[in-house]
Structures are given as structure tokens and as C-alpha cells.
Chain A
Amino acid sequence: MSDIPEGLKYSREHEWVRVEGDAAILGITDYAQSHLGDVVYVELPEVGVKLKQNGALGVVESVKAASDVYAPVSGEVLERNAKVIESPELVNRAPYGEGWLLRVKLADPAELPSLLDAAGYRDHTADG
């Protein structure tokens, strides 16, 4: 059973969003990291890049394969997690903590209701 914390928003593509005022922290879920396996490389956009909801955010590579990560919300990249670029295994060890990927300035808070809450995401992963 994968870890799905309350209080976060989730995309159907297995990314999470933690809203902090007009900004948000993004990462991939415990479900996603456990299916990817050992993460060995993380490719993230530069600060200032404008992400579109459901557009490509970056790539997370495991030993087995490269997987695209999609932006769960639109926004401008404010910060990349330098620690996760240096130590990609943080995505496996703490997907909701030290393994976060990006901090973005939310472009359109009206997108947030389109995301799932913890219960909705639990149902979604149970289906898949």
C-alpha cells in the first residue's frame, strides 16, 4: 500500500502538489517512485521556465527506464531541488519530503480543483 498523505493535491499522472500561498511544491508520488524503481537521474527545467498544466515538466530516470513527469499545474519555476539533482535516490526515500522536485509560482489557482484529493488519488491508484 503506497503512502498518500492528506492535504496534498494529486494528478492522475502520479504527481503531487503542496500549495503554499501563491506558490506550490511539486513532486512525484510514493506510488510513482515504487513503480519506477531506483531513481538514478532527475532532469528538471531551469528557474524561470513557464510550465503548462499537463505539459512536460521533466524526466525521472530509473535503472530500468526514463519516465516523463507532467506538470500538475501551470506556473513559473521558482526553484529546483538542487539536492534531488545531486542525490536522485531522495525521490525513492522521501517522495513527499526531501525528494520534492520543483517550487513554482501558480499561474492559475482555478486549475487546483481539477486535481484529486488524497481519497480520490487512493481510488485512482487502486483502479490502476
Chain B
Amino acid sequence: MRLTPLHEEHLALGATMVPFAGWDMPIQYPSGIVSEHRATRAAAGLFDLSHMGELWVRGDGAPAALDRLVSSDIQGLAVGHARYGLLTNQSGGIVDDVIVYRTAPGELLVVVNAANVEKDLAHLTERLTGAAITDASAETALVAIQGPRALAISGRVADAPLDDLASFGVRRTAVAGVECLAARTGYTGEDGLELFTPWGGAPTVWHALLDAGAGEGLVPVGLGARDTLRLEARLPLYGNEIDEATSPIEAGLGWACALDKPFLGRDEIARVKAEGPDRRLVGLIVDGGVARHAFPVLSDGVEIGRVTSGTYGPSVQKNIALAYVPSDRAKPGTVLAVRIRGRDVPATVARTPFRRKGEAA
């Protein structure tokens, strides 16, 4: 099992550690998932995401080369900005979902899911022409600070204020003396920063932020609350909502596909969009138990789909889930059911995200 550079910090904080994608990661600290979730919505949460993968793509032709393999517009991405996109395959499925950061004219950072680093590296290495790819995952740590107080707290320990950084902006700065790449991105549905630091610098950044935010409600947050936060915000999790057999259109990620440019799988995605997908990812409010991954979704007693992710949403204070259902059953207000331990529990299709930024916590 691989350890992040903050492993000792997690143990000292009393975290419950679990295996995740080959890493020993904190799922929660003693205050618990609900409390960590609420603290992130109300103030700020600190996350160790050092398991994530960081791939650098460099060369004069790097933006054009990556543009052909990522669903969103990478050529048009200005230096100092980032964009969400999908690595797609020939059949229009999703190899991974990524954020691409343009840090210099001929330099892009592709941040990928921990479980997909080797797969993505092979996928890109095989197909990239006119650019060099480097896997920096083993020497790059990632500390995220998320929530309404995140910018103010980090501004006090950074070399320069960061609140002028645009949403999805990225710049180099130093935090507590550690050189890092600061990006206004995240996976919680809150404002905040992701700080890419050298492996050995992560503890300094972690402690500086925890100290700076202690009086403002900043708490360390584990993967458990990361999941409830992203689910309320309807952010997909690779392996649950999306995979190589999933079309971005049925996953509701058409917005991340620039169909006016060529990229791998583009034609198939355009076809699904034009014809309309057979199934769609919908939000469900479940009334009577927590719907978990792979639980059947039923309409009039007949199975019509499966839950991809489900949890109790601490901010919406309801049991929520995402599920694929036939497109004609996807309208908000449609009453379906989820089979939970043999019982068919009412589940109503809901508008997503379940919670928008700034709504009461």
C-alpha cells in the first residue's frame, strides 16, 4: 500500500485509514463524515489528495496534440487557466475525467484519477504526437482547501493574495515558503484551491493551512466527506458514474465536449447527442434508506437501471443517489423506486445538483 507524504499527519489526527486505489487514505477523522462535510460547506475543509496523478505534457505542439485526445477545448485554453475534460476512446467512451491546466505556452498539466494513472499514461503515450509526456505523480503532492473561507485562509500563508485568481485559474506561488502551483479548482461544489506541491513540502503546507484556519473553522476532511460533497454537487466519480462504456452525453457531460473540433471518439459522441441517448444519469431523492452503488432502480416493479452512487446528503438532509434510467423516465418529478435489501423504496427524480454553491449549509 502506498503512503502519501501526509500519512503521519493523518495518524496523528486520529484518522480512520482505508485502502483506496492502492493508497492508504483517510476516510474520516474523529469528528466524522457529516461534521467534516458541514464544516467544508460552512467554513473550509483541508484534503490530502496526493494519490491523484499528475501528467505533464510539454512541447510547442503540446496544446494541439492534447486537444485531439481531450473532449474539451485545450488549444483555446489560455496560459494560467484550467479546463475540465474527458479522455475519450474511439467508441466515444470515457477513459478518464481530468482537469487540464495550461501553465506555459508549451506546458500542460493533466490531473487524473489515482486509479487511472497507468492506464492514462499508456493511453496518452501511445497517441500523443509532437509532445513529450512525463508522469510526475510520485513527486507531486496535492493539498486542497475548499469552502467559503478557503481563499481567505490560504491568502494569509501564501506569498501573494490568491483571491484575484479566477475560477479555474492557475498560478505559481509559495505557501509557507513551499513552491507550489495554486489552482482555483476542486471537487466539492465549493470555492477553493488545489495546491500542487513537491512531495516533501506537503507537510509544511498542510500544517501552515491548518494553523492559519484553526480559528475560522477549517478542519481536515477525509474521502468519506469528499464523496458526500461531490455527490451533492453531482460531480461524477470515475468507475461509478462514468467508465469506458459510458457516453459523455448520457452522463450529462455534453457541456465538456467541444464537438466543433476533432478529437478521439468525437463522431460517436456527436451521433449520441444528435439521436438522443437511450439512458440518462439522473438524481434521485430516496425516501427510506440509503441507495448504494449497483442497487436496482425500478419503474412499475420492473428493473430499468442501476444506482451509480448514493449516500445521505448532510447539507440537503436527504438520501440522494445518481442512477442511469431510460431517457423517458428521466424527467424531474418522475416517481421510481430503488430496491434496498429486498424492499422497493420510493425514489423521485430530482433536479441536480442537489445543492448549489452558497445555499444554506
Measured CB to CB, the residues of A under 8 A from B are 37-38, 40-41, 43, 59, 61-64, 66, 89, 92
Asked whether A37 lies within 8 Å of B289 as measured between CB atoms, the reply is no
Asked whether B228 lies within 8 Å of A63 as measured between CB atoms, the reply is yes
Asked whether B28 lies within 8 Å of A59 as measured between CB atoms, the reply is no
Instruction: List 9 tightest A-B contacts by C-beta distance, closest first.
Output: A40-B312, A38-B34, A63-B33, A61-B290, A38-B32, A41-B289, A63-B312, A38-B33, A37-B32
CB-defined contacts of B28 to chain A, threshold 8 Å: 37
Q: Given A37-B33, A38-B33, A41-B312, are A66 and B27 also a contact pair (CB < 8 Å)?
A: no
CA–CA, A40 and B288, complex, Å: 10
Q: Is B58 an interface residue (CB 8 A)?
A: no
Asked whether A64 lies within 8 Å of B319 as measured between CB atoms, the reply is no
**A-B pair number, CB within 8 angstroms:** 44
- A-contact bits for B30-66, CB 8 A (1 contact / 0 none): 0011110000000000000000000000000000000
Measured CB to CB, the residues of B under 8 A from A are 27-28, 32-35, 224, 228, 288-290, 292, 311-312, 314, 319, 341
Asked whether B27 lies within 8 Å of A64 as measured between CB atoms, the reply is yes
CA–CA, A66 and B288, complex, Å: 13
CB-defined contacts of B319 to chain A, threshold 8 Å: 40-41
In the complex formed, the residue of A with least CB distance to B225 is: A63
Offer 14 A-B interface pairs, CB within 8 angstroms, sorted by A. A38-B35, A38-B312, A41-B288, A41-B290, A41-B312, A43-B341, A59-B289, A59-B341, A61-B290, A63-B34, A63-B312, A64-B33, A66-B341, A92-B32
Q: Which residue in A38, A40, A66, A89 is a CB contact (below 8 Å) of B292?
A: A66
In the complex formed, the residue of B with least CB distance to A62 is: B33
CA–CA, A74 and B289, complex, Å: 25
CA–CA, A19 and B28, complex, Å: 36
CB-defined contacts of A38 to chain B, threshold 8 Å: 32-35, 312, 314
In the complex formed, the residue of B with least CB distance to A43 is: B289
Asked whether B290 lies within 8 Å of A40 as measured between CB atoms, the reply is yes
CB-defined contacts of A92 to chain B, threshold 8 Å: 32
CA–CA, A59 and B289, complex, Å: 9
CB-defined contacts of A40 to chain B, threshold 8 Å: 34, 290, 312, 319
In the complex formed, the residue of B with least CB distance to A65 is: B292
- The smallest beta-carbon distance between B18 and chain A, in angstroms, is 9
Of B228, B289, B292, chain A has the most CB atoms within 10 Å of the CB of B289
CA–CA, A38 and B319, complex, Å: 13
CA–CA, A11 and B289, complex, Å: 25
Of A37, A38, A64, A89, chain B has the most CB atoms within 10 Å of the CB of A38
CA–CA, A64 and B228, complex, Å: 10
Asked whether B224 lies within 8 Å of A64 as measured between CB atoms, the reply is yes
CA–CA, A81 and B70, complex, Å: 54
CB-defined contacts of B32 to chain A, threshold 8 Å: 37-38, 92
In the complex formed, the residue of A with least CB distance to B289 is: A41
CA–CA, A96 and B243, complex, Å: 45
Asked whether A63 lies within 8 Å of B341 as measured between CB atoms, the reply is no
CB-defined contacts of B311 to chain A, threshold 8 Å: 63
CA–CA, A38 and B314, complex, Å: 10
- The smallest beta-carbon distance between A42 and chain B, in angstroms, is 10
In the complex formed, the residue of A with least CB distance to B27 is: A64
In the complex formed, the residue of A with least CB distance to B31 is: A38
CB-defined contacts of A41 to chain B, threshold 8 Å: 288-290, 312, 319
- The smallest beta-carbon distance between A34 and chain B, in angstroms, is 9
Q: Given A41-B312, A41-B319, A59-B341, are A66 and B290 also a contact pair (CB < 8 Å)?
A: yes
- The smallest beta-carbon distance between B113 and chain A, in angstroms, is 20
In the complex formed, the residue of A with least CB distance to B286 is: A41
CB-defined contacts of B288 to chain A, threshold 8 Å: 41
CA–CA, A66 and B345, complex, Å: 15
Other A-B contacts than A40-B312, A64-B224, 11 sampled, CB-CB below 8 A, are: A37-B33, A40-B34, A59-B289, A61-B290, A61-B312, A63-B33, A64-B27, A66-B289, A66-B290, A66-B341, A89-B34
